[in-house]
Structure 1
Amino acid sequence: MAGRGDLLVFLVLAAVSSSLLLPKAHCNSEGDALHTLRRTLTDPDNVLQSWDPNLVNPCTWFHITCNQDNRVTRLDLGNSKLSGHLVPELGKLEYLQYLELYKNNIQGAIPDELGNLKSLISLDLYNNNISGKIPPSLGNLKSLVFLRLNDNQLRGPIPRTLAGIHTLKVVDVSNNNLCGTIPSNDPFEHIPLNKFGDFSFVFAALRTILDSRVQSCRDLQVTTQTALNRLARDTEVCNNISLS
Structure 2
Amino acid sequence: MASFTPFSLLFLLLLQYPFLSLSSNSEGNALHALRSRLSDPNNVLQSWDPTLVNPCTWFHVTCNSNNQVIRLDLGNSNISGILGPELGQLHHLQYLELYRNELSGKIPEELGKLKNLISMDLYGNKLEGRIPKSFGKLKSLKFLRLNDNKLSGTIPRELTHLKNLKVL
Q: TM-score, normalised by structure 2?
A: 0.90
1:12 to partner: Cα distance: 4.2
1:56 to partner: Cα distance: 3.5
| 1:173-197 Cα distance to aligned partner (Å, 9 max, x none) | xxxxxxxxxxxxxxxxxxxxxxxxx
C-alpha contact (below 8 Å) 1:98/1:122 kept by paired residues: yes
C-alpha contact (below 8 Å) 1:30/1:92 kept by paired residues: yes
Q: Which has the higher helix share?
A: 1
Q: TM-score, normalised by structure 1?
A: 0.63
Percent sequence identity is: 60
In structure 2, runs of 5+ residues without a counterpart are: none
Residues 93-104 of structure 1 mapped to structure 2, 5 A cutoff: 93-104=90-101
Q: Name which structure has the greater RCO, CA cutoff 8 Å, separation 6+.
A: 2
Q: Give the distance between the partners of 1:24 and 1:157, measured in 2 at CA.
A: 43
Confirm whether residue 10 of structure 1 aligns to residue 2 of structure 2: no
Residues 23-172 of structure 1 mapped to structure 2, 5 A cutoff: 25-171=22-168
Partner AA of 1:78 in structure 2: G
CA RMSD in angstroms comes to 1.9
Q: Give the distance between the partners of 1:25 and 1:97, measured in 2 at CA.
A: 23
Partner AA of 1:66 in structure 2: C
Partner AA of 2:31 in structure 1: L
Partner AA of 2:85 in structure 1: P
C-alpha contact (below 8 Å) 2:21/2:53 kept by paired residues: no
1:52 to partner: Cα distance: 1.0
C-alpha contact (below 8 Å) 1:27/1:71 kept by paired residues: no
In structure 1, runs of 5+ residues without a counterpart are: 172-244
- Structure whose CA Rg is larger: 1
| 1:146-165 Cα distance to aligned partner (Å, 9 max, x none) | 00000000000000100000
1:54 to partner: Cα distance: 1.5
